[in-house]
Amino acid sequence: MNLVLFHSSFWAATAMIAAVVLSSTAGEVFTAAAMKSIGDLDAIRARSGLKGAILAVLTSPLFFTGVFFMAVAFFALLFTLNHMNLGLAGPATASLTVVANALAAMLFLKENVDRRRWIAAALICVGVYFLAH
């Protein structure tokens, strides 16, 4: 593979950002599903102590699935930052992740993403875009 072409390609940048956003969203959805099934960590800690709270998290298969995808997202981000500026990669991944998470939370976690949250997501996306310029 010609590394120079790969580095300068628009599609390569798009693929890198998409890999970060999709793996990050998958990780966050699985982790959120795990924490929803475990319940309020503060309540568990009050009842069973810190050890009980840690045990409740570490015995959840959904949590480890989430961690796996977060690890994929982490190394994808490291790779992306090595080839792109933070000024482009940071806002692009951050703003797209906000929208992807809201969509995934509504579809897979059945969260009530109401008009208030969509308006806030839109404001934050545009805000992050302006921060990059």
Partner 1 sequence: MVLSLVAVCAPLGNACLSKGMTSLPALSVTHPLALIMAVFTPWVALGIVLLIGFFASYLTALSWADLSYVMLATAWGNVVVELLSRFALHEAVSSERWLGVLLIAAGVGYVTPGASRTITPTAAAGKSEVPQ
Which residues contribute to the site for partner 1 (CB under 8 A)? 3, 7, 28-29, 31-32, 35-44, 56-57, 75, 77-79, 81-83, 85-86, 90, 94, 97-98, 101-102, 104-106, 109-114, 116-117, 119-124, 126-133
Sign of CA dihedral 25, 27, 31, 33: positive
- Residue 84 DSSP one-character state: S
C-beta of 61 vs 75, nearer to partner 1: 75
CA 96 to chain centroid: 10
Min dist CB 10 to partner 1, Å, is: 18
Quote the least distance from Cβ 82 to partner 1, whole Å.
5
Q: CA angle, corner 27, sides to 9 and 118, nearest 5?
A: 85
